[in-house]
């Protein structure tokens, strides 16, 4: 589905990605792991075309997308759920969802699906983004990526700073989603990543250092300890 | 007893609009210790840290440093009373050389900053001190390269070097190991511990990775959802059930169950 | 650069200084001799140059004086924008205050040169402090707007009918009688040497300043102001110093302008004049100091020749050239020429980063 | 309650402003302050037309367009020309349409150019050669084209006499221009020249590595638009004289509205062109965008000076607002409609219909229209979202750059509309752009740089302040402990608004409506 080969990215003046390679098999959830500041978020942004790579290849569905403007990348069916719940705070929930439409009527078609996953949002539909709680904002952020027909979702730290109950809800939602969509997930909480993902990729200092099946990683205490520091 | 407290916060609170990032946190840092604040991502550690270092104003609460109320003090004042901080996101002077980055840091606490017409090279003490620190943090090879060209781990070291150059009484370190290669981490932590012990400095360390701090800390504060969850020695913390749960979550069991069902 | 420290400090300081600045010194020597060289090429005798007889030499002296004045003006702007990263849009006021005050004091109040210099100094300090008052409250583009506001008020007042007895309103200040020993017509050679001397001294002082501990902090502020604060620098104080230096330089450039050209047009207080300073440092290279002088020369000569060839359309063409420069040659002559041009690009980025409006960020 | 506390500085400031305003009006008779307030609102409306565009452009694109005032001025001059000298515009329409029709083809040509395989050296050089040849040929051919504006010396003199003639009803349309050279050659020259230009542009854009291929529908649309413009050019050429006659035969009222519409559209097109060709390459270097717009303003000013001359002149009021004879000043709406009065009596004072009523109405209409656009349309949604985070909007699959162009075009269109509107009331002068830009910038800073409602409120505030100070300049303020009333002199007017801006910014660096950071 997605092949990333040896990408390098600069943010401002800093060389942040120094050779990240990964592949996301169709229909799977792949977790992108690594310590704080390792370059996970930048990897997602680079795939999305927000911080274009200076070198390396990104191939999505057999088509090279490196260097395309990010709206074209999105139009190919890639949805992005950024970290820090970056919803549009001046827009209502409905407007936030409407904005994500790629074709007229997308929202109506997906309405039921979205409100099934996140029943809360239906109730809040008229509220402005500012007035939502953190968890609700995060749900909106995920829901927004579901409005158009996306075949690949890039999700960045969905559980950060959220209460456990909400995290469970979100995990459940992502799990349901993965039936139809491929997911590349950045997650700090190893246990969340472990429960959700089939594959993993570990980045460190802007480079891919390890990848494989999640099941294998779960047993590899040393790797976990070494790269992720989780107990 | 209270003489030994170098930094104390009283009910420090920070809100961003409706979001309460730090909810009434009170901690005491004992002079000469290495005190760590840990907690999962989004627990409010960095925000708390930013408030303590003056980068963000507190919504309410009081911060006392060495018996002096510094709640309202601007950032540059805090540096002069002896606090030096590092940033989680690399925060350097990207176009200046490694030497210049550190030299500027040392110059800041000296008395020569308002010399308008003599070359900065005439003030050799800054350069000598900077060179010593460059050696100390192992960046001698990169002395004359612009900071932005360094590799990530080296930038972290430079960050540490910049704090050392100011020779602060208390070091505030925000995830100094962020993004470093894992084999470099123990090395850096050892360096921090060494610096702390040698100069009998106080270190306040923020870290989200529990393993990193367990061996080096004298005291650990665990934050979760903006609040202090527990405080104690590493031994106490590692045996504390609430902490284990916050970190790993009862989530873990629930998830296990969920996946068992699935 | 940095690696040569130990070697150079071993030498006698003066020798080292001479060695470092040999290029500039060579230019200085050429400029000192230039009036005579031109005369010789033109078939004039040296004595006629000394007697300030009209001719090509005298004409080019006038042109060069204008270049020096523009160079000083641009230099002072480069210190703000290129070195410290402060975008002010009110710089024309810094210049015009010097120009007008000199003219008014000499013409309407009959002051001598020395008290006038003192008054210009005071005025320059006052206006720098005025900018400094708003500095801590407004950042980046808002600061640019506020300074533009101040300058506009000044421009409006200078042009207003009420001020006409002093400023001459739209027509400009005319008939300023310059003390005979500085008469721009009879004593042009002297004025030329004085202007050259002032320019060179200011340029060396600026270089000195940028190299000094204080100047290094200013560069640090441009690179990353938050970090400079965190290191313990009260960045406000440094910005005030820079404003003072810049204001003084610009005001004295304005004073020279009045001496050289006893008609003070209200144009020098307008936004257009400010654009000229920007244009000059764009031509020369932002943040390079020497670029300001080179840019001033290029600009003035360009202006001169375009005016000669195209007449009326000259200002228009200059505007077009300016836009093309912005689009295609962002780093200017010195910037493009310097070996470390990539380093230079990054400096520009640092300034840009400072001025980028901060979008809200929850973290 | 919490809201009150959070916004206490803001409320306090507003309160003080209101108290000051009440104090200000307490000293004058009702009809005086009504008229002054109306004048203030009218000035506010004009300022708003400029400030609205500035604030949306700045909010969405982070570009502070310092050429906006000069674009306002250009709008006024264009409007004046369409209104008083439609012949000039109609004459110029043909070459303009021809050039446009060929430049529209650039995307298609790019596609074709890309399919070519040329030797390296040729590939590098030919666009430059094409550019030079195109510009050269175009300039040469255009100067052969009979346009009254080419006779700059005469044309730049004409506005004043034209304006006077128009006012006194003695205006005579100039004789139709004749080709001196062979028309076929001249028009052919224009076509070939702009064709070369388009080819060169295609050559340059083909060099970009990531190029979007236009879809078949887009290509078809491009071809249709280009063909349409091309055909229209010849239609206009064929009916040039009758069209001119018709335009001059129209009453001044319809012609004024045509001028408003055409000037706005032309302004919008100009804005779009500026954004695409000059602002767009500079998004990575925002400070250069400011510098660029500064230079652009400079160029436009010189252009206006060259074509229309330096002296000030009037734009005659359309007939519907110019009646002075029987039944005027109107005392009722009925009279007003019947006699098309220039003034109407309100509370015993005379209110000028155009200056103090029509401008306000247009301002309100535009305010409503833009507010609707922002709140109710998808474009508005994108703009509001983009003001917060345009990167994320783009990541949703929306071509933000295209929206940027539209917004820039909208902003410049509004400014041009404002210019035409200002013509009959303020007159046309080289300085009007700089003056209105200053007002608009102040309005923006006072209202909060990126807030649209802030721009509107700031504009009204500045307008009122200016007019009340002017008024007080006439009647004087009774200052305690001073025998003579204090009379602020005219320069204090703009100066006072600047001071207001500085004070407000010092209290509230984000402006009255800006969000705290």
Sketch out chain A's domains with CATH numbers.
2-90+150-228 (3.40.50.300)
Domain count, chain C: 1
Give the residue among D394, A160, D243 at the shortest CA–CA distance from C362.
Answer: A160
Give the C-alpha separation, D245 to D185, whole Å.
Answer: 27
- Asked if A132 and A124 touch (Cβ cutoff 8 Å), the reply is yes
Contact C362 A84 (CB under 8 A): yes
Q: Tell me if B37 is assigned to some domain.
A: yes
Nearest neighbour of D381 by CB, restricted to A50, A86, A95: A95
Contact B260/A at CB under 8 A: no
Domain count, chain B: 2
Nearest neighbour of B96 by CB, restricted to C209, C223, C226: C223
Q: Can you give the CATH number for the domain in which C190 is found?
A: 1.10.3470
Q: Tell me if B87 is assigned to some domain.
A: no
User: Helix C140-159 crosses helix C341-355 at what angle (to 10 degrees)?
Assistant: 80
Residue numbers of the domain that contains B103: 92-167
Contact D493/A at CB under 8 A: no
Contact A99 D392 (CB under 8 A): no
Using a CB-CB cut-off of 8 Å, the residues of chain C touching B73 are none
Exposure string for A29-49, b = 16+ CB within 10 A, e = fewer:
bbbbbbbbbbbbbbbbbbbbb
**What phi and psi values does residue D85 have, to the nearest 5 degrees?**
-120, 60
Which H or E run contains A37? Answer: none
Nearest neighbour of C275 by CB, restricted to D294, D444, D501: D294
Contact residues, C window 84-113, toward D, CB-based 8 Å cutoff: 87
Residues of chain D with pLDDT under 70: 1-8, 24-25, 27, 149, 151-154, 156-157, 166-167, 169-177, 208-213, 286, 327, 476-492, 514-517
Using a CB-CB cut-off of 8 Å, the residues of chain D touching C320 are 299
- Please report all neighbours of B, defined by 3+ CB atom pairs within 8 A: A, C
Give the C-alpha separation, B122 to A38, whole Å.
Answer: 40
Q: Tell me if B109 is assigned to some domain.
A: yes
Same domain, B226 and B256: yes
Read out DSSP for D333-391? Answer: HHHHHHHTBSEEEETTEEEEIIIIIIHHHHHHHHHHHHHHHHHHSHHHHHHHHHHHHHH
Same domain, B125 and B20: no
pLDDT above 60 for C339 = no
Contact A11/B at CB under 8 A: no
Contact D509 C156 (CB under 8 A): no
ipTM of the complex: 0.76
pLDDT above 90 for C17 = no
Count of pairs with CB atoms under 8 A, one residue in A, one in B? 105
Q: Tell me if B192 is assigned to some domain.
A: no
Residue count (chain C): 363
CA-CA-CA-CA dihedral for C141, C143, C144, C149, to nearest 10: 130
- Asked if C254 and C99 touch (Cβ cutoff 8 Å), the reply is yes
Contact C361 A84 (CB under 8 A): yes
Same domain, B230 and B174: yes
CA B68 to chain centroid, in Å, comes to 20
Angle at D93 between CA D92 and CA D95, to 5 degrees: 75
Contact C349 A13 (CB under 8 A): yes
Among A12, A36, A91, most C C-beta atoms within 10 A, so best to mutate, is: A12
Sequence-ordered strand ranges (E) for chain A: 2-11, 14-24, 29-33, 55-60, 63-64, 78-81, 152-156, 182-186, 199-204, 207-213
Give the residue among C334, C326, C286, C325 at the shortest CA–CA distance from C80.
Answer: C286
Q: Tell me if C120 is assigned to some domain.
A: yes
- What is the mean predicted confidence (pLDDT) over B4-26? 82
Confidence of residue C9 (pLDDT cuts 50, 70, 90): very low
pLDDT above 60 for B251 = no
Which H or E run contains A3? Answer: strand A2-11
Contact B117 C219 (CB under 8 A): no
Give the C-alpha separation, B200 to B4, whole Å.
Answer: 13
Take residue B117 and report the two structure tokens written for it. Answer: 């017409």
- Close Cβ partners of A122 (under 8 Å, ≥ 6 residues apart): A115
Count of pairs with CB atoms under 8 A, one residue in B, one in C? 119
Q: Tell me if C43 is assigned to some domain.
A: no
Same domain, B57 and B108: no
- Strands A14-24, B68-69: pairing is unpaired
Same domain, B61 and B3: yes
Give the pLDDT confidence score for residue B1 in this predicted structure.
41
Using an 8 Å CB-CB cutoff, list residues of chain A that contact chain D: 48-50, 67-72, 74-75, 80, 82, 86, 88-91, 95-96, 98-100, 102, 144, 148
Counts of helices then strands in chain C (DSSP H, E): 18, 0
- Asked if D502 and C146 touch (Cβ cutoff 8 Å), the reply is yes
- Close Cβ partners of C209 (under 8 Å, ≥ 6 residues apart): B116, B117, C79, C215, C245
- Asked if D187 and D98 touch (Cβ cutoff 8 Å), the reply is yes
Contact D381 A48 (CB under 8 A): no
Contact B116 C241 (CB under 8 A): yes
Using a CB-CB cut-off of 8 Å, the residues of chain A touching C353 are 12
Give the residue among D343, D344, D345, D350 at the shortest CA–CA distance from D317.
Answer: D343
Same domain, B35 and B70: yes
Using CA coordinates, name the residue in chain A closest to D374.
A91
- Strand, helix or coil for residue D278: helix
pLDDT above 90 for C123 = yes
Contact D388 C138 (CB under 8 A): no
Residue tagged 């320019």 (tokens):
C199
Contact A231 B208 (CB under 8 A): no
Q: Tell me if B152 is assigned to some domain.
A: yes
Using a CB-CB cut-off of 8 Å, the residues of chain D touching C158 are none
Same domain, B67 and B173: yes
- What is the mean predicted confidence (pLDDT) over C159-181? 77
Give the pLDDT confidence score for residue D271 in this predicted structure.
92
Contact B75 C9 (CB under 8 A): no
Contact A227/B at CB under 8 A: yes
Take residue D381 and report the two structure tokens written for it. Answer: 């949604």
Give the pLDDT confidence score for residue C243 in this predicted structure.
94
D295-333, pLDDT tens digit by residue?
898 889 888 888 888 888 888 888 777 777 776 777 777
The minimum CA-CA distance between B258 and chain C, rounded to whole Å, is 32
* CA-based R_g, chain B, Å: 20
pLDDT above 70 for A39 = yes
Using CA coordinates, name the residue in chain A closest to D389.
A88
The minimum CA-CA distance between D350 and chain C, rounded to whole Å, is 29
Same domain, B221 and B253: yes
Same domain, B106 and B207: no
Number of neighbouring beta carbons within 10 Å of residue D245: 15
Contact C357 D449 (CB under 8 A): yes
Give the pLDDT confidence score for residue C11 in this predicted structure.
56
Contact A13 C363 (CB under 8 A): no
Using a CB-CB cut-off of 8 Å, the residues of chain B touching A168 are 251, 254-255, 258
- Asked if B99 and B131 touch (Cβ cutoff 8 Å), the reply is yes
Nearest neighbour of B105 by CB, restricted to C231, C237, C363: C231
- Asked if A35 and B178 touch (Cβ cutoff 8 Å), the reply is yes
DSSP state of B85: E
Contact C146 D505 (CB under 8 A): yes
Same domain, B130 and B254: no
- Asked if A5 and A57 touch (Cβ cutoff 8 Å), the reply is yes
Among D70, D152, D291, D443, most C C-beta atoms within 10 A, so best to mutate, is: D291
Same domain, B173 and B55: yes
Q: Tell me the whole-structure pTM to 2 decimals.
A: 0.81
Same domain, B156 and B212: no
Residue tagged 């001799």 (tokens):
C33
Q: Measure the N-to-C terminal CA separation of chain D; round to a whole number of Å.
A: 21
Q: Tell me if C230 is assigned to some domain.
A: yes
- Asked if C246 and C80 touch (Cβ cutoff 8 Å), the reply is yes
Contact D381 A82 (CB under 8 A): no
Contact D449 C323 (CB under 8 A): no
Contact residues, B window 166-195, toward A, CB-based 8 Å cutoff: 175, 177-183
Q: Tell me if B191 is assigned to some domain.
A: no
Using a CB-CB cut-off of 8 Å, the residues of chain A touching D382 are 99
Contact C349 A85 (CB under 8 A): no
Contact B95/A at CB under 8 A: yes
Give the C-alpha separation, D34 to D21, whole Å.
Answer: 13
Residue count (chain A): 231
Give domain limits for chain D.
Answer: 6-323+348-507
Read out DSSP for A178-211? Answer: TTTSEEEEE-S-HHHHHHH-SEEEEEETTEEEEE
Contact B112 C223 (CB under 8 A): no
pLDDT above 60 for B173 = yes
Contact A84/C at CB under 8 A: yes
pLDDT above 50 for A152 = yes
The residue that leads in pLDDT, A13 or B251, is A13
Contact B41 A189 (CB under 8 A): yes
Confidence of residue C359 (pLDDT cuts 50, 70, 90): very low
Most confident of A85-99, B166-180, C34-48: A85-99
CA-CA-CA-CA dihedral for B223, B224, B226, B230, to nearest 10: -40
Give the pLDDT confidence score for residue C245 in this predicted structure.
94
Most confident of C243-247, C275-279, C307-311, D215-219: C243-247
């Amino acid at each position: 589905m997605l092949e990333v080969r040896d990408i390098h990215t600069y943010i401002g003046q800093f060389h942040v990605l120094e050779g990240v390679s990964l592949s996301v098999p169709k229909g799977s959830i792949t977790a992108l792991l690594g310590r704080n500041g390792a370059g996970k978020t930048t990897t997602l942004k680079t795939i999305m075309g927000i911080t274009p790579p200076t070198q390396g290849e990104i191939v999505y569905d057999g088509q090279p997308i490196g260097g395309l403007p990010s709206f074209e990348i999105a139009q190919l069916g890639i949805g992005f759920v950024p970290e820090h719940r970056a919803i549009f705070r001046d827009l209502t929930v409905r407007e936030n969802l409407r904005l994500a439409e790629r074709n007229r009527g997308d929202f109506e078609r997906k309405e039921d699906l979205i409100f099934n996953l996140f029943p809360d949002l239906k109730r809040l539909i008229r509220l402005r983004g500012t007035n939502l709680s953190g968890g609700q904002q995060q749900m909106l952020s995920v829901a927004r990526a579901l409005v158009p027909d996306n075949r690949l979702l890039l999700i960045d730290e969905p559980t950060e700073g959220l209460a456990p109950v909400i995290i469970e809800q979100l995990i459940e939602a992502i799990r349901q989603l993965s039936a139809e969509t491929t997911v590349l997930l950045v997650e700090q909480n190893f246990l969340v990543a472990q429960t959700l993902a089939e594959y993993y990729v570990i980045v460190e200092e802007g480079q891919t250092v390890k990848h494989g099946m999640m099941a294998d990683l779960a047993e590899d205490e040393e790797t976990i300890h070494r790269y992720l520091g989780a107990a | 007893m209270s003489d030994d407290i170098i930094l104390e916060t009283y009910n420090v609170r920070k809100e961003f609009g409706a979001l309460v990032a730090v909810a009434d946190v009170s901690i005491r840092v004992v002079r000469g210790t290495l005190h760590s604040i840990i907690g999962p991502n989004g627990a409010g550690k960095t925000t708390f840290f930013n408030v303590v270092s003056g980068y963000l104003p507190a919504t309410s609460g009081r911060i006392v440093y060495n018996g002096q109320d510094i709640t309202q003090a601007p950032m540059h004042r805090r540096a002069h009373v002896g606090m030096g901080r590092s940033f989680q996101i690399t925060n350097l002077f990207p176009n200046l050389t490694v030497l210049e980055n550190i030299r500027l840091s040392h110059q800041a606490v000296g008395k020569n900053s308002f010399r308008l017409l003599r070359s900065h090279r005439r003030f050799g003490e800054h350069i000598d001190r900077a060179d010593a620190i460059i050696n100390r943090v192992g960046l001698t090879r990169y002395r004359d390269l612009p900071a932005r060209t360094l590799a990530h781990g080296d930038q972290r070291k430079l960050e540490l070097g910049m704090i050392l150059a100011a020779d602060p009484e208390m070091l505030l370190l925000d995830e100094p190991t962020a993004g470093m290669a894992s084999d470099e981490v123990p090395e850096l932590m050892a360096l921090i511990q060494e610096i702390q012990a040698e100069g009998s400095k106080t270190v306040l360390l923020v870290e989200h990775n529990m393993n990193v701090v367990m061996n080096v800390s004298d005291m650990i504060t665990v934050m979760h959802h903006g609040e202090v969850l527990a405080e104690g020695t590493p031994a106490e913390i590692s045996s504390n059930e609430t902490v284990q749960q916050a970190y790993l979550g009862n989530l873990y069991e629930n998830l296990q169950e969920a996946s068992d069902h699935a | 650069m940095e690696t040569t420290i130990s070697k150079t400090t071993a030498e006698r300081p003066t020798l080292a200084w001479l060695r470092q600045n040999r290029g500039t010194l060579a230019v200085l020597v050429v400029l000192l001799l230039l009036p005579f060289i031109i005369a010789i090429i033109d078939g004039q005798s040296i004595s006629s140059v000394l007697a300030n007889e009209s001719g090509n030499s005298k004409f080019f002296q006038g042109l060069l004086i204008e270049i020096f004045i523009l160079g000083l003006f641009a230099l002072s702007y480069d210190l703000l924008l290129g070195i410290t990263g402060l975008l002010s849009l009110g710089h024309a006021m810094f210049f015009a205050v010097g120009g007008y005050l000199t003219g008014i004091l000499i013409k309407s109040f009959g002051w001598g040169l020395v008290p006038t210099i003192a008054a210009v100094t005071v005025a320059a300090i006052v206006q720098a402090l005025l900018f400094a008052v708003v500095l801590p409250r407004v950042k980046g583009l808002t600061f640019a707007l506020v300074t533009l506001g101040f300058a506009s008020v000044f421009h409006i007042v200078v042009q207003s009918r009420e001020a006409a007895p002093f400023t001459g309103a739209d027509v400009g200040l005319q008939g300023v009688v310059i003390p005979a020993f500085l008469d721009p017509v009879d004593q042009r050679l002297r004025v030329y040497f004085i202007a050259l001397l002032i320019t060179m001294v200011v340029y060396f002082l600026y270089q000195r300043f940028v190299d000094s501990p204080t100047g290094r902090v200013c560069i640090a502020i441009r690179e990353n102001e938050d970090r400079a604060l965190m290191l313990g620098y009260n960045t406000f104080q440094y910005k005030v110093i820079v404003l003072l230096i810049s204001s003084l330089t610009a005001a004295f450039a304005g004073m020279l302008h009045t001496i050289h050209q006893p008609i003070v047009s209200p144009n020098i207080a307008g936004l257009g004049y400010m654009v000229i300073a920007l244009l000059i440092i764009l031509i020369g290279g932002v943040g390079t100091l020497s670029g300001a002088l080179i840019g001033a020369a290029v600009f003035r000569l360009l202006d001169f020749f375009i005016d000669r060839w195209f007449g009326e359309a000259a200002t228009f063409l200059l505007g077009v050239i300016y836009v093309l420069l912005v689009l295609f040659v962002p780093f200017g002559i010195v910037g493009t020429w310097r070996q470390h041009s990539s380093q230079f690009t990054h400096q520009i980025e640092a300034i840009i980063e400072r001025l980028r409006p901060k979008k809200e960020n929850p973290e | 309650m919490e809201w009150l506390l959070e916004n206490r500085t803001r409320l306090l400031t507003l309160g003080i402003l209101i108290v000051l305003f009440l104090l200000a009006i307490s000293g004058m008779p009702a009809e005086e302050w009504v008229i002054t307030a109306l004048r203030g609102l009218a000035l506010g409306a004009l300022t708003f037309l400029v400030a609205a565009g500035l604030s949306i452009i700045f909010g969405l694109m982070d570009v502070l367009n310092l050429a906006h005032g000069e674009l306002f001025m250009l709008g006024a001059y264009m409007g004046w020309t369409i209104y008083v000298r439609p012949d000039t515009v109609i004459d110029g329409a043909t070459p303009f349409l021809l050039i446009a029709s060929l430049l529209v083809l650039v995307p298609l040509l790019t596609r074709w150019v890309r399919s070519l395989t040329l030797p390296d050296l040729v590939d590098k050089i030919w666009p430059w050669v094409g550019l030079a040849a195109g510009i050269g040929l175009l300039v040469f051919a255009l100067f052969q084209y009979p346009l009254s504006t080419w006779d700059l010396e005469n044309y730049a003199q004409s506005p004043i006499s034209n304006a006077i003639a128009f006012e006194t009803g003695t205006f005579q349309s100039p004789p139709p221009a004749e080709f001196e050279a062979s028309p076929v050659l001249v028009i052919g020259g224009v076509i070939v020249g702009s064709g070369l230009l388009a080819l060169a542009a295609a050559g340059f854009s083909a060099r970009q590595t990531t190029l979007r291929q236009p879809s078949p529908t887009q290509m078809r649309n491009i071809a249709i638009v280009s063909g349409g413009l091309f055909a229209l050019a010849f239609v206009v050429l064929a009916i040039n004289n009758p069209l001119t006659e018709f335009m001059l035969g129209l009453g001044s009222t319809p012609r004024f509205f045509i001028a408003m519409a055409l000037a706005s559209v032309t302004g919008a097109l100009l804005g779009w062109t500026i954004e695409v060709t000059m602002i767009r390459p500079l998004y990575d270097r925002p400070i250069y965008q400011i510098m660029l717009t500064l230079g652009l303003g400079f160029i436009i000013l010189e252009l206006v000076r060259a074509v229309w001359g330096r002296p000030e002149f009037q734009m005659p009021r359309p007939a519907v607002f110019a009646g002075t004879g029987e039944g005027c000043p109107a005392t009722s709406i009925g009279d007003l409609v019947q006699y098309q009065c220039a003034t109407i009596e309100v509370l015993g004072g005379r209110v000028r219909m155009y200056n103090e009523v029509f401008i306000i109405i247009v301002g309100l209409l535009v305010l409503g229209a833009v507010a609707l656009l922002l709140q109710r349309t998808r474009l508005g949604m994108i703009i509001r979202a983009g003001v917060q985070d345009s990167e994320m909007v783009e990541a949703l699959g929306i071509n933000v750059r295209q929206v940027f162009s539209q917004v820039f075009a909208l902003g410049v269109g509004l400014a041009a509309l404002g210019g035409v509107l200002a013509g009959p009331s303020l007159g046309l002068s080289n300085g009007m752009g700089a003056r209105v830009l200053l007002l608009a910038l102040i309005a923006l800073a006072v209202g909060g740089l990126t807030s649209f409602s802030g721009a509107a409120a700031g504009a009204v505030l500045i307008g009122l302040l200016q007019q009340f100070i002017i008024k007080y300049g006439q009647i004087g303020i009774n200052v305690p402990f001073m025998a003579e009333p204090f009379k602020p002199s005219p320069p204090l007017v703009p100066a006072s608004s600047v001071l207001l801006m500085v004070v407000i910014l010092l209290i509230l660096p984000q402006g009255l409506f800006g969000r705290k950071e």
